[in-house]
């Protein structure tokens, strides 16, 4: 399920003109906030599966889970089809491209950066984030 040597560009219908930090809403952190902080703090350290599971797990509010229980939860989570990072609000709403290295590690790339433009024209597999609305 992980992307390798790929680039997910910002959705065509995104209203973002530059990358922004996902704002807080309510009492808990949003999926966008969780994913943003994980990728901002540790670029290329996590795969798509790591990011998807971590954002789901945090929102479940579970505490004191053992390593074996965590492995079981992860197996159960991926036993069902999961949307990929093409559906992430980071790429759909907040102006962040997602770049994957040859090992599947993912990092953020701001849409207004020169690096983003280079990635758009690179040899990486080019993938567009999912549109928010049907064409």
Residue 22: how many other CB atoms lie within 10 Å: 19
pLDDT for 133 equals 73
Asked if 38 and 54 touch (Cβ cutoff 8 Å), the reply is yes
What span, in angstroms and rounded, lies between the C-alpha atoms of 89 and 127? Answer: 15
| pLDDT at residue 134, as a whole number | 65
Asked if 39 and 31 touch (Cβ cutoff 8 Å), the reply is: no
Q: How many Å apart are CA 9 and CA 110, to the nearest integer? A: 10
**According to the model, what pLDDT value does residue 135 have?**
57
What is the C-alpha separation between 89 and 58, in angstroms, rounded?
16
Q: What is the model's pTM?
A: 0.91
Distance between CA atoms of residues 7 and 14, nearest Å: 17
Task: For the chain, 135 residues long, give each residue's pLDDT as a single digit of tens.
Answer: 789 999 999 999 999 999 999 998 888 899 999 999 999 999 999 999 999 999 999 999 888 889 999 999 999 999 999 999 999 999 999 999 999 999 999 999 999 999 999 999 999 999 999 997 765
């Amino acid at each position: 399920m992980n992307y390798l040597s790929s680039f997910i560009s910002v959705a065509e219908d995104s209203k973002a003109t530059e990358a922004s930090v996902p704002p807080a809403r309510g009492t808990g952190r949003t999926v966008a906030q969780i994913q943003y902080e994980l990728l901002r703090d540790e670029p290329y350290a996590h795969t798509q599966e790591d990011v998807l599971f971590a954002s789901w797990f945090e929102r479940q509010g579970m505490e004191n889970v053992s390593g074996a229980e965590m492995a079981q939860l992860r197996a159960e989570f991926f036993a069902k089809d999961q949307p990929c990072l093409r559906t992430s609000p980071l790429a759909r709403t907040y102006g962040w491209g997602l770049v994957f290295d040859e090992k599947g590690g993912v990092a953020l790339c701001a849409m207004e950066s020169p690096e983003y433009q280079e990635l758009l024209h690179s040899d990486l597999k080019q993938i567009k984030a999912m549109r928010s609305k049907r064409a």
